[in-house]
Amino acid sequence: QVRLVESGGGLVQAGGSLRLTCAASGITFSSYAMGWFRQAPGKEPEFVATISRSGGSTYYVDSMEGRFTISRDNAKNTVYLQMNSLKPEDTAVYYCAAGPYSGSRVGEMYDYWGQGTQVTVSS
């Protein structure tokens, strides 16, 4: 059974930081590219970042590059999203996803999804 479990969300003031963690099980983690997506209330899901199987390549949505950093530890079957300089508009449920294609920014290209973790940024 494949499981992706996100953690690390919470309430933070604008300008603060959070580190999201996604722990994977039931898959050969190093064979999957990993992505982070988010969905704010009343909005469509949005791509945030993705990282290749080895971790050697990363891609971000333009508005988040420089503030967010995706990384992975294949020995721990875990992917991270470090979020700095958070803004109220970053408030959303953040999801991690696993898929076979590195660099994909499209949710449909990912096979497995976590249940999400809420991030709330207060002004």
Q: Looking at residue 18, what is its pLDDT?
A: 98
Specify whether the CB–CB gap between 9 and 20 falls below 8 A.
Answer: yes
Specify whether the CB–CB gap between 19 and 80 falls below 8 A.
Answer: yes
Measured CA to CA, the distance from residue 30 to residue 52 in angstroms comes to 9
Bridge-partner residues for 70, per DSSP? 81
Q: Looking at residue 111, what is its pLDDT?
A: 96
Q: Which amino acid is at 80?
A: Y
In eight-state DSSP terms, residue 65 is B
With residue 22 as reference, give the H or E element that holds it: strand 18-25
Split the chain (123 residues) into runs of 10 and give each run's mean pLDDT: 97 98 97 97 94 96 89 98 96 97 90 97 96
In eight-state DSSP terms, residue 6 is E
Q: Which amino acid is at 3?
A: R
